Amino acid sequence: MTNTPHKPPAPPDMRPPLIPRLLRSMGIVGPARSWRYDVASEYGALLQRWYLDAAKSTTQTTDWRKLAATPDDVHTSDAATARTRAAYLVASTEYGHRAVEVVTDGVIGTGISTNVQIEWSRDESITEASNGRVEDAKHRWAETAFIGPNMHAAEAQALWMKATVADGQAFVYRRYVPNRKVRGLRGLKPAPALCYEILPASRLSNVLAAPEGGNLLINGIEYGADGQPVAYHFAGDGYSAKTYRIPADSILHHFRVDRPGQHQGMTWLAPVVQGLFLLRDIVEYKLVQYKVQAALAVLVSDEPGGQGIGNLPGLPTPVGSAKTTTAGAQQQFIVPGMIHRTGQGKVTTLTPTPSSDLDPLTRLCLRGIGVGIGISYERLSGDYSQVTFAGGRLTENALADRLDVVHSWFCRGVETPIHRDWVDYAVAMGDMVAPPAKADPYACSFTRPRRRRGVNPLQEVNAAIAAIDAGLSSHRIEMAELGLDAAEVLADISRLKKTTREDLSLAIAKGLDIESLPDPDTGSLPI
């Protein structure tokens, strides 16, 4: 049984049935009014179950709303609003921006590279050399792999991850650009180049979109009779109202599936949108309070019956500002050091009163936001003042486990199909020799961002050595944990062992731009 995406419920027909209409024509309006009220209530209940807290239009309606509809119902009704608010928070609040950056840096790092593992020969040296040539060819292709704008594959990976966190989904458009300069084994050559373009979810459009016969079009995605996407409709970039229909075979649509039957992604910030809004308001209002308190230097009141103090000169209205509000009230402008005349009556001294609960409240909000996104409070806030040795280690290990899960999900859904496309393209273009028939041409692994081992690197290294000696791990596993390529590291060590101490001393002297060489016995430089 396939889950077919649902359309939003159509507004009900508010025309009463025959009998209430006849009674209304006779002046009896009660039955028709009661019928309309029941229909409107039922329709309102149908819509109510779709709402997400991240897309509520008011905080006075309810505290929470159950999601009894299908995932696609929720996405159809609320996903666009939640995505727009999440994008605003990422662009305008420090913690929203920081949350996306932490996830992206932890999953992508400086870029995910491909370690090719094709079995070319039983001779290990031949296999390593052949795989090295394939990796070099892909590195050259990665320099111009993504267009719109032109960017390196590592930058595109980070862009896709940011869009996925903020929007819940992103689309990779595979295309072959004719007469594009391709850097292959024989230098630059004109050829139909394999390129990719990242399309944001905000460009999905139903405007002027024409689905093919019998297909269902929801939020710019065209579904066939089996409920699977057959095409995507994207609006033109900029102010163009034109919509382009792209077959599903050319689109890589990968998103986190939270519920069965889900066809689109929801922003990862949906659980924390309200928290980010509230935290922003709390901090902003508190800063405004401090600013007002610091600006007022003296409050003066004329005592009734006394000599009093003459009228002080009023504060001039700033240029371009109205003297009154739209409601007609007097506009008040405050500047630092202001002496404010209150008139007759009692004066309450206004002095700065720093709040002692703002910092704990901020930490409480940030912990909840971090939990909702899946990152630690320390990484989100940059506050390590209350971290102990054991606590810091547990926090970093838990975050690393979480980021490893997202990294594997990203590689399976994005990097693997892109690598398969490239291998087929490289073999067809002659930039890669076809592997033996029995070998898997797509065999590879992907690097992980390089990470430090906990808060005590020496202790972690000793534990890794003990695990290798006991046969519970290997050099490849331990180096992969650090985000390193074991083959490259072992090759560098092998080359380094063949280098004489004199060659190393000469290299050090050349790097330091000195004439004298380090002492061959002690390694120290002459004074």
Q: Which of 414, 485, 443, 430 is nearest to 154 (CA)?
A: 414
Residue 44: per-residue pLDDT? 59
Residue 248 and residue 50: Cα distance in Å, rounded?
Answer: 27
Per the rule left: phi > 0, alpha: psi between -120 and 50, beta: everything else, 214 is: left
Element containing residue 341 per DSSP (H, E)? strand 338-341
Q: Sign of the CA dihedral 15, 19, 23, 25?
A: positive
For the chain of 527 residues, list the mean pLDDT of each consecutive stretch of 10.
53 70 72 69 55 57 50 63 86 90 90 90 87 90 84 91 90 80 51 83 80 82 87 77 86 86 84 85 80 66 48 49 60 60 56 66 86 86 80 80 90 93 89 88 87 65 81 76 70 69 63 55 50
pLDDT, residue 306, reads: 42
Domain chopping of the chain, boundaries: 18-71, 72-286+358-451, 287-357
User: Coil, helix or strand for 114?
Assistant: strand
